[in-house]
Amino acid sequence: VSVRTGWAEVHLKQGSKLRLGLDTFVQVGSESATVSLFRGRLHVQVEPGSAQVTVLTANALAGFPKGTGIVFYDGEEQRTQLIGVE
């Protein structure tokens, strides 16, 4: 999924939601709640009773068993930031 302008909301089969920000590029696993973040920012919201969502970047892995969190990835600087987790 690629977002050039605006934002997009993706609903996973497991019930969780992803919100992709401007200039974001992700690949969502077909059967699991695994998301590869290649560029941009991703807001993860794991709904009660849903499976853990795992976000992978080139240099990090973030697991969200419940709640919400935001992951930023800058491919030019090879920097991943986990901004907030609830």
Q: Which of 71, 67, 68, 66 is nearest to 83 (CA)?
A: 71
**Strands 53-56 and 34-46: what pairing?**
parallel
Query: pTM of the full predicted structure?
Result: 0.88
pLDDT digits (tens, 9 = 90+) for 2-46: 898 889 999 988 889 999 999 999 999 877 789 999 999 999 999
Six token digits for residue 73: 């990835």
Q: 14-41 b/e with 16+ CB inside 10 Å = b?
A: eebbbbbeeebbbeeeeeebbbebebbb
- For residue 44, the model assigns a pLDDT of 95
